[in-house]
Structure 1
Amino acid sequence: MSQQTVLVVDDERDIRELLTITLGRMDLAVHAVGTVSEARRALAERSFDLCFTDMRLPDGTGHEVVELIAAQYPDTPVAMITAYGNVDAAVSALKAGAFDFVSKPVDIQMLRRLVRTALKLAEERRSGAAAAGRAGDRLVGDSPAMQQVRATIAKLARNQAPVYIAGESGVGKELVARLIHEQGPRSAGPFVPVNCGAIPSELMESEFFGHRKGSFTGAHADKEGLFQAAHGGTLFLDEVAELPLHMQVKLLRAIQEKAVRPIGAREEVPVDVRILSATHKNLAGLVEQGQFRQDLFYRINVIELRVPPLRERRGDVPLLAEHILRQLAAKSGGAVGRLTAEAKQALDDYDFPGNVRELENILERAMAMCEGDTITPADLMLPQRAPRQPAAAPFAAGPAPAAAEAPASPGSVPLDDYISNLERSAIIKALEESRYNKTAAARKLGITFRALRYKLKKLGID
């Protein structure tokens, strides 16, 4: 196997020598140049497995090198070398197509981790092992909107830029985050999802950064935080808008410095994680209202990926329904449910304010209610006339009230059953939105934890 080669573009001799020595010890061949024109000639003459370029060069900028490689040599990952603390330049480089960035003075250990990750990505691109097609089996839908989402996922998986996934509740933001992770060079590392709204404020710092034994009452042993758990992989911050302001400050520092300080520790611990985040709220609007820090918003929102609501891709509903029914059958060991023509029409007429998650709930309930394996409109228990929502709105305040999943009217079933169905739908939805954190679900429902536990037992919800 031929030796892998790295192109270094920097007009500072010290930096060129440092990178040449460091990369040489990793058994890599280094070709170092000092200008944009020399970089153009080198790229035209031979192929490289990786490129490092400084931001400022005598005859141009590193952005020109990044854009050139992204356009003409897309199989070569490129990392920008920036001045310490120059976050704007780093973000701009990532948007232009850079894989990652390195700050001066160069941290050798961080550089080595970046090189290993980048070379793995280059190998996957050239061998076709970056399984861009895997999304097809899990991200169901052939609509133009979903084809665009899949194409964007494949593109975002190739770099390390922070991605902000926008979309209403229930559209599948976590699935999108998982696919970005699985199709990228960090796929062998951990994927750590965290619901920021489900962690009590007083425990957030310990949960995110960890703590040392004896650092506070109840700290009986060292504990690693979510950042350490995601080391070498991806940290997915779901419902990031729920973070209190004091944690936003600490999170921003951890992302910028690529290091965390556990509670009670004297020194910071370096962490190598990719940050993906999501919320169903309008994060830019929260910035304007002063409820979310602008600097953190720009740091996590380097690239935004919007996942469309189900009402904007109605043609995908039949495919999704078939996929969900097959999954339910596989889980239960029973026959695959079959929708009547009338049931299909009822689904087509419905706006799905709860999106794919609501469709899953509707079909799971319908399979429990139907006779045999045939699902009728009555089994779906949809409102008789669901008002259509405007398709242009990119955000919604949240999922529709639980009554949207209730029977059409109390007269169609006994009153006790009708009320129980209302309660069951509301509780299941709150649990799912809270990732089955019962304390958070009770808070959403406006009841005590003890009351929620009683209702779970009463309604037979496991």
Structure 2
Amino acid sequence: MEKKPLVLLVDDEQDLCTLMQMSLSRMGIDTHIAYRLQEAVQALKTHQYDACLTDLNLPDGNGLSLVDFIAQNYPNLPVAVLTAYGNMDIAIAALKAGAFDFVSKPINQKHLEQLLQKAFNQPISQLHIQEDTLEHRLLIGQSLPIQQLRIILKKIARSQAPVFITGESGTGKEVVANLVHRLSNRNEGPFIAINCGAIPTELMESELFGHRKGSFTGATQDKQGLILSAHGGSLFLDEIAELPLTMQVKLLRAVQEKRIRPIGSDTEIDVDFRVISASHQDLEALVQQGKFRQDLYFRIHVMDIVLPALRERGNDIILLAQHFIQKICQEWDIPVKPLSERAREFLLAQYYPGNVRELRNMMERAITLSDESSIDLPHLQTAPLRPIAQTNYANATQQGAVGNDQLSHVPSRKLPEEGLELYLEKIEKEILMNALNLTHWNRTLAAKKLGMSFRSLRYRLKKFGLDGEDDSV
């Protein structure tokens, strides 16, 4: 006969405990009840539990103390907190202390089932095996910042709390967001990534929340929004600072209530997702400027991950360069080209405003330029072709866009051997590279300087392989 899960319920309200015990029994779960903090501590010492549910207000202490005690002494035990409706500050403090989720009173049977399903979903021993392989495969390097990041991810993976990732452009925010998802007990659910700066404002509500047929001109059929697509998994909102204030209000309710209403619908839909967001901008400063809602800021800003700049990672630069070289050479079906000693010294001395994304593009260019068996200093130092004079291009970008008058600076030459189309593509690629370098790989600013939409720039970067997307950091 299969052993039933055993849950420790800690609350001083006897009637509530009795009701919850009955509900858990119907779910096939055994329950031990502790009415005081010390009773709970003693029970933990004498029994092996599969999960713990604790109130935050106990007669002989604070439930946060119990959360911290479990985190320190029983790190594999999932603990969730029971909190009064609206008492979000304390609930967030519990999540930071080590709780993996919280549920508001009065307890909703459906939410309680979902909560415990997450707690029992994956054996902790399997989770640790998965962490070891994924962390080292996707977080390449042995620098102190990367080692600390691995430790933080272990803690965050257990939680259901919202995660906010910050760091310079190109540091790998989406890679880390995906890693948080894959290490969590939501890893069998979808991971939906949204770049908030790439969706036109007029389409944003429909894209996020979906719509019903006939709700507006052009709505010829029902559409499921991206938030509902993340049901059972994780929703990653990249560059969340780009969301308009009107959309921030709608997102806040979806994140807080876990309910959405598609455009044109009379009913709301329950949706279960974990929100992970990211931005290279200072959200706190934007809140002060009135450009980002404070309530949404506090709701998404529960667990913080700060990604280090590449220049702060020391010899990780070489390890990452070697990783990219091996991957690119395999993709191109050519022999792997090692880095010379001079090339290594050069790479370690660079500033990398575009971070990991810039390093990957640098390796791709070096492999292309190298006709030898290895990558040496000249392959890294070679400046890109500049069909527009550097000084004139810089002046043009400062004015906001490249004007027609700059075309006169394209060097005159014979008809290109590769044909007009390929030649123009080469010129376009170099212009994009110049814009990215001048704006320190800030793609939003580069799009503005080039006089095009972010979406258009993103398309062109993908077209020329300059997006630098990779599954490792």
Aligned partner of 1:447 among 443, 446, 452: 452
CA contact (8 A) 1:141 1:319 kept: yes
With over 3 angstroms needed to count, the CA separation of the structure-2 counterparts of 1:43 and 1:457, relative to structure 1, is closer
CA distance in 2, matches of 1:23, 1:248: 37
Question: How far apart, in 1, do the equivalents of 2:103 and 2:83 lie?
Answer: 6
Quote the sequence identity (%).
48
* Of 10-19 and 163-172, the range deviating more from structure 2: 10-19
- 1:85-125 alpha-carbon deviations (Å, 9 max, x no partner): 2211221111111110001122211211111111124x224
2:83 maps to what in 1?
82
Q: Which moved more, 1:61-70 or 1:251-260?
A: 61-70
- What is the one-letter code of the residue matched to 1:57? L
Alpha-carbon distance change, 449 to 73 in structure 1, aligned in 2, over 3 angstroms: closer
Distance (whole Å) between structure 1 residues aligned to residue 106 and residue 320 of structure 2: 51
Aligned ranges 1:108-123 → 2 under 5 Å: 108-121=109-122, 123=123
Contact 1:198–1:434 (8 Å) recurs in 2: no
Paired position in structure 2 for 1:304: 304
Q: Secondary structure at the match of 2:320?
A: helix
Q: CA deviation at 1:441?
A: 8.1
Mapped partners of 1:166, 1:278: distance in 2: 6
Match of 2:136 in 1: 136
Deviates more, 1:15-24 or 1:300-309: 15-24
Instruction: Please state how far the C-alpha of 1:345 moved relative to its aligned partner.
Output: 2.0
- Using the alignment, how far apart are the partners of 1:461 and 1:167 within structure 2? 20
What's the RMSD between the two structures over aligned residues?
3.4
1:141 and 1:299, CA in 2 relative to 1: closer, same or farther beyond 3 A?
A: same
Report the secondary structure of 1:278's partner residue.
Answer: strand
Q: Which runs of 5+ in 2 are unaligned?
A: 385-408, 417-422, 468-473
Cα pair 2:443 2:454 within 8 Å, conserved: no
* DSSP 3-state at the match of 2:168: coil
1:284 matched to 2:284? The reply is: yes
Letter in 1 for 2:71: A
* Distance in 1 separating the partners of 2:195 and 2:266: 28
TM-aligned CA distance change 1:152 to 1:251, over 3 Å: same
Mapped to 2, the partners of 1:75 and 1:117 lie a distance apart of 14
Amino acid at match of 1:200: P
**SS of residue paired to 2:347:** helix
Q: What is the identity, as a one-letter code, of the residue corresponding to 1:51? A: C
Question: What is the distance in 1 between the residues matched to 2:383 and 2:87?
Answer: 54
**For the residues of structure 2 that align with 1:64 and 1:461, how far apart are their CA atoms?**
49
Distance 2:128 2:60 in 1: 36
Question: Equivalent residues in 2 for 1:309-348 (5 A)?
Answer: 309-348=309-348
Partner AA of 2:237 in structure 1 = L
**Residue in structure 2 matched with residue 422 of structure 1 by the alignment:** 430
Contact 1:132-1:183 within 8 A present in 2 as well: no
Give the corresponding residue for 2:23: 22
The Cα of 1:27 is off from its aligned counterpart by 1.1
1:51 matched to 2:52: yes
Aligned to 2:168: 168
Q: Distance in 1 between matches of 2:288 and 2:457?
A: 36
Amino acid of the structure 1 residue aligned with 2:368 = A
- Residue of structure 2 in register with 1:195 after alignment: 195
Residue 231 of structure 1 corresponds to 231
Which secondary structure state, in structure 2, belongs to the residue aligned with residue 275 of structure 1? strand
Alpha carbons 1:420, 1:459 under 8 Å: kept: no
CA distance in 2, matches of 1:14, 1:359: 61
TM-score, scaled to structure 1? 0.85
Could you list the per-position Cα deviations for residues 46-88 of structure 1 after superposition, in whole angstroms to 9, with x for gaps in the alignment? 1110111112222222212211211111111111111112211
C-alpha distance after superposition, 1:390-426 (max 9, x if no partner):
xxxxxxxxxxxxxxxxxxxx9xxx9999966631425
Matches within 5 A, 1:213-228: 213-228=213-228
Any stretches of 5+ residues in structure 1 without a counterpart? 385-409
Matched residue, 2:63: 62
Matched pairs, number: 432
Worse overlay, 24-33 or 324-333 = 24-33
Asked if structure 1 preserves the Cα contact closer than 8 Å seen for 2:98 and 2:155, the reply is no
- Specify whether residues 451 and 291 from structure 1 end up closer, same or farther in structure 2 by C-alpha distance, changes over 3 A only: closer
- Whether the 8 Å contact between 1:197 and 1:242 is mirrored in structure 2 is yes
Cα gap change, 1:278 to 1:451, in 2 (>3 Å): closer
Call closer, same or farther: CA 1:233–1:290 in 2, change over 3 Å. Answer: same
Distance 1:155 1:132 in 2: 13
Distance in 1 (CA, whole Å) between partners of 2:335 and 2:186 is 38
Which amino acid in 2 is paired with 1:447? Answer: M
Distance across 1 between alignment mates of 2:276 and 2:58: 32
